Amino acid sequence: MLFRRITGQLVGVLDWLRRNRRRSFVATALALLAANAAALIAALFLPEGRTSTTLAVIPVLAFNSGVTFFLGMLASGYVRSRIMGFGPRAPALRPAPTVARMVEAAQSEPSIGQANPSREVVANARKLLREAVDRLPPPEIDGPAATRAYPIPELGSETACVTIVVPLFNEERFVSDAITSLKGQTVRNFEVLIVDDASTDRSAALAKQAVGDDRRFHLLRHLRNSGLGASRNTGLRLARTPFVTFLDADDILLPDALEIRLRRFGELTDGRIAGVYCGVVQAPETITADYLPRRRNYSGRAQTFVSSEGECPFNAHAPILRTDVLRLLGGFDETLRFGCEDWDMWQRVMRHGYWFEPVNRIAAVYRRKSGSMVRTMPLEHLQSGQRIFNWVHSPLPSEEVVSGTPFVFNEGLDTYRRADNFLRRTVQYGAMAYMRSGASFLELLTSIPGDLWPYALKHFDVPQMITKGLARYLAIDDADTADLGGDLIAARDAILAHYSALQRETRLVDTEPVRSSVDVALFAANLKQAALMADLAARLGENAKNCVLVSAETVSGDQGVEDFWISRKLPYLTYNLYALREWRLAPAVKIVMRPYDGAIRGFATSGPGLLVELVDPAAPVGLPDENAPAVPDMKVALGDALPLVERMLEPEDGPCPANRDQSPGPVAVPARAGIAAPFILHKEERLDLSPDYERLSALKDRYKGERCFIIGNGPSLNALDLSKLKNEHTFAVNGIFYKKDEMGFDPTFYVVEDSSVMAENIDAIRAYEARYKFFPTIYRSLHPAEDNVQFFHMNRGFYEREGASFCVPRFSVDAASRVFCGQSVTYINLQLAYYFGFLKVYMIGMDFSYVIPQNAIVKGDLITSTEADPNHFNPSYFGAGKTWKNPKLDRVKLNYELARDVFSAGGREIINATKGGKLELFRRQAYDDLLE
């Protein structure tokens, strides 16, 4: 009874499968379940011996399941094509039947006993496919579709093949982990540029410690905090390899992160590929450098301007990128100070026709920090994102178009998204046209935008869409596509070849980039120049001249330039952005003004444009022969600059003379413009020492609007009654302790710069009392930390012969970050006084006159006295046995000139109240008149 019932059910299922051989696997599975359920119910409800009967049914059910499933697969064609090898393999991707097609097929199914038409349908379809291919065979294509535009990474070479840029700002907790993860890479031939963005903690010191003696690592420092985008750009500008990647100082790379991405790059050839990216996993803040995620598999897709949907496609440390592409597009936008600079960069790359290929592996770790930028400034981050979204969905401004790229998506994203969606339909209907007639298909080909075709291949499965179109034309479904096999594939590949030929005909040929036109580039090195250049640019702009202001403060230090322009809401370019875009800006005229350092001199002496030097007759400045400025094409007084520049831009006798040097464009890897040896900054500053930034910052503008006196140590000091200064704010320096008893008061501020003074008088310096005592960080080991002692960063670039600022005065407006040496400790006092907010600064004891006694022992710049000191108020100051340095008053004068101009530009003044002396740079005022 039981077996008769089971057999009846099985026969019914098989009969249904015979009549419905082309049904899907889902139908087979449902029939199987129904048969087993019927058998089991029958067994359970038998009136006799339920338990024994049920046990007997189990093997029968198992057999029934196996046979039914196998026969179902056989009926659907799967076993014949995939297991038994009968017939060709089915295409990997097959279109799912629509509901309408299923209803239509069900209505046309033959009843039991009728002939099965499937074989006739397949035979007819095969005949049509072969005729179509014979009628319009695939075109012959010579050579590859795209040539490699970048070298294959040589992983085992002794030469670095990739640059890792590590932006660093106040990450003393995590930077060691980041460096450790880089040292553990399976690829060894790389270079690392750690770019410290003017950190105020011990980040740079700990980075240097973690690097040790590994010569692949180089530590750089910005002299002005410029943001994450600027740090990335500094690394991009100085990278010496064809590939670059970025790792934030609080994140880590897994050991094979470089290797798997570089190997993937080696497999690719299309010049439109800008980079390859891996998966990134998020991890808690507490992870260490040896962290490994539980899973490593990752499923990504090619990221194009359309497929990314305007979103940020991946984290900053996910991709390895082509250095030339990022430079071509001008680097990261440094105005995005609250994040999103990577998002913006990737979108600009993709909008210019490049795309990113995935590496299906997790290889990087993003640390979820409680103090991350996204968490602490979500509104600002959102506003930056909104700016990018608006840009993505708007037409691309013509001035942002970069020539020489594969393709430019000029319209907003929605335009191309609609075009992409319709292209899917076009591809499907193109297959139907191909089957209909060759002429019809060729006509359809002309409607396909060939420049968008390469991106369509990345957006959807083109072979699948072609197969879907063929199936629709032939009125076949899944089972028939399996039976047709090779004929279907041959037709699909022929159609695909025609599309590929269309792509080949429209591919970009390398052309000389068309450079945009900037009339005038104006470079400012200090606050005075910032105001003058801004005024000149405004007047030129009134006459329809296109001007750009340029600041070098990222590499030269904060001298008030960018703060002034920001306060006036004036647009400007940073050092990095000008360096990366100079070839495209191509200014006809470049304007500079003394003093300026090697950063600006690099721009002035090379690249396009004629050089004009402005001169202020009322306050002339010079530079010593040791570091002479660039030779200008013309010098002009401030009052004559406007008409002269306009005549240069529109000369009566034709265009301007030939430019100094036509830069070849952005693909030249070696970086110039200012720091020829990019890793020299450690000679200017001790990167392993940090200032007392927070304590110094608390003094900013503390004395705003007040006056102070800087006490020099010249012989004229003996002619003044210093007790009158008891209730004034005073700066005292070096050996002023010799006058302690005579003064009758302790100064407000006490400063020592000179190493000889510090070493030879350390006991007296320790014992000397002042409200505040300031010393360079290099003297931390000499003077104990006390409540009234603060250490500042002293930049020695003025003394470094190999540096970009040798003998070039710089005046810091951010003394908490650093002050610049200027051949005299008084110059450091002037920078401190400016930072503290003093309105008027009176100088006394500044005789500005030195003699070197004939009996002194002179070795280079170092002098050893053999007799009493004639140059200071006390003969023991640099008396017998004491060492001192050649004061080089000509260099002191350069720095005083700059201090005068900066104070004046800020509405302040330096006044000379010295009795006598030879210092005539500043307005004089009698000391006694000030203190009556």
Mean pLDDT of 848-859: 88
- Pairwise CA distance, residues 499 & 453, whole Å: 8
Mean pLDDT of 8-37: 51
pLDDT reading at 112 higher than 60: no
Question: Which stretch of 416-420, 721-725, 799-803 has the lowest confidence by average pLDDT?
Answer: 799-803
Give residue 860's pLDDT band: very low, low, confident or very high (50, 70, 90): confident
pLDDT reading at 12 higher than 60: no
pLDDT reading at 777 higher than 90: yes
Instruction: Please give the residue that has the higher pLDDT: either 366 or 649.
Output: 366
pLDDT reading at 48 higher than 80: no
Strand, coil or helix: 186: coil
Q: Residue 772's pLDDT is what? A: 97
**Is residue 790 within a helix (H) or strand (E), and if so which, with residue range?**
strand 789-792
- Pairwise CA distance, residues 541 & 347, whole Å: 31
Q: Residue 446's pLDDT is what? A: 86
Question: Which stretch of 47-61, 68-82, 275-289, 536-550 has the lowest confidence by average pLDDT?
Answer: 68-82
pLDDT reading at 819 higher than 80: yes
Question: Which stretch of 84-88, 750-754, 922-926 has the lowest confidence by average pLDDT?
Answer: 84-88
pLDDT reading at 57 higher than 60: no
Q: Locate all alpha helices (DSSP H) within 308-459, ordered by sequence.
A: 323-328, 341-351, 373-376, 378-392, 413-436, 438-445, 453-459
Give residue 19's pLDDT band: very low, low, confident or very high (50, 70, 90): very low
Q: Residue 56's pLDDT is what? A: 53
* Single pTM value for the model: 0.81
Question: Which stretch of 170-179, 600-609, 633-642 has the lowest confidence by average pLDDT?
Answer: 600-609
Closest by CA to 579, choosing from 559, 607, 621, 549, is 607
3-class SS letters over 128-159: HHHHHHHHCCCCCCCCCCCCCCCCCCCCCCCC
- Pairwise CA distance, residues 854 & 867, whole Å: 10
486-505 vs 462-474: helix crossing angle, rounded to 10: 130
pLDDT reading at 394 higher than 80: yes
Q: pLDDT tens for residues 315-371? A: 999 999 999 999 999 999 999 988 889 999 999 999 999 999 999 999 999 998 776
Residues 6+ apart with CB under 8 A from 536: 522, 591, 614, 641, 642, 645
What are the b/e assignments for 883-901, b being 16+ CB within 10 Å? bbeebebebbbbbbbbbbb
Q: Residue 80's pLDDT is what? A: 38
Mean pLDDT of 682-703: 89
Q: Residue 374's pLDDT is what? A: 66
State how beta strands 319-322 and 243-246 pair.
antiparallel
- The backbone torsions φ and ψ at residue 857, rounded to the nearest 5 degrees and listed phi first, read -95, 115
Mean pLDDT of 702-717: 96
- Pairwise CA distance, residues 164 & 194, whole Å: 8
Q: Residue 81's pLDDT is what? A: 38
Give residue 294's pLDDT band: very low, low, confident or very high (50, 70, 90): confident
Q: Residue 199's pLDDT is what? A: 92
For the chain, percent of residues with pLDDT exceeding 90 = 53
- Pairwise CA distance, residues 549 & 570, whole Å: 9
- Say if residue 595 is preceded by a cis peptide, omega within 30 of 0: yes
Q: Locate all alpha helices (DSSP H) within 714-838, ordered by sequence.
A: 740-743, 755-760, 762-767, 825-836
**Is residue 205 within a helix (H) or strand (E), and if so which, with residue range?**
helix 203-211
Give residue 100's pLDDT band: very low, low, confident or very high (50, 70, 90): very low
Q: Residue 567's pLDDT is what? A: 93
pLDDT reading at 191 higher than 70: yes
**Is residue 368 within a helix (H) or strand (E), and if so which, with residue range?**
strand 355-368
Tokens of 672: 């110039």
Q: How high is the mean pLDDT of the chain? A: 83
CB 519 within 8 A of CB 589: yes
Give residue 609's pLDDT band: very low, low, confident or very high (50, 70, 90): confident
pLDDT reading at 577 higher than 50: yes
pLDDT reading at 867 higher than 50: yes
Closest by CA to 877, choosing from 756, 741, 745, 743, is 756
pLDDT reading at 135 higher than 60: yes
